[in-house]
Amino acid sequence: MTAPASRARLAGLLPLALLAACSAQQCDPNRADLFTGIGCSAGNGYQQRTQDLDAQRNLLRLQAAQAQGNAAVAQNQAAWAQDAVAQQRQRLQAFQSRNAALRGRLAALEQSKRITAAQYQTAVQNLNEAGKLASSHDAADKARADKQQQAIVDSLSGL
């Protein structure tokens, strides 16, 4: 082969080599030069980039939907917890109101000498213990507090 024919053949292969080298690159139109752009167009690099970006967008949408679902569940759980706390607070306030009324009644009974000082002290001690149990988070303690309070009510009802 002659030198000019070799050169012509090399000159014809040079653009193909450049296109082949460029097609393996990341096809970002913002960062592509002329040869990369041609290589990406010829090698379907832009189409692949579009598909990759679509897949990434779809994944992000799915993750956002899952995050919204998780947020809704967390919000429902928080609302349920707030309701439970409000109910417990109301229950405790009602218990404390009954305890205060019982204390007043005990004081009146002691003053009128219908109960002894020892009976008064025992009843007040039981009310104090019931008040501590009522403040507990344990359902069994709360039930014992209600029973103690009811026992005091029952013992005072005959007086």
Name the residue among 38, 156, 23 with its Cα closest to residue 102.
156
Residue 19 maps to a domain: no
Amino acid at 34: L
Domain span at residue 130 reads 44-157
pTM attached to this predicted model? 0.57
Residue 130 maps to a domain: yes
Residue 91 Cα to chain centre, angstroms: 27
Residue 10 maps to a domain: no
- The count of structural domains within the chain is 1
pLDDT digits (tens, 9 = 90+) for 60-91: 999 999 999 999 999 999 999 999 999 999 99
pLDDT digits (tens, 9 = 90+) for 99-151: 999 999 999 999 998 989 999 999 999 999 999 999 988 999 999 999 999 99
Residue 74 maps to a domain: yes
Residue 3 maps to a domain: no
Token output for 13: 């292969």
Residue 47 pLDDT grade (very low, low, confident, very high; cuts 50, 70, 90): confident
Residue 11 maps to a domain: no
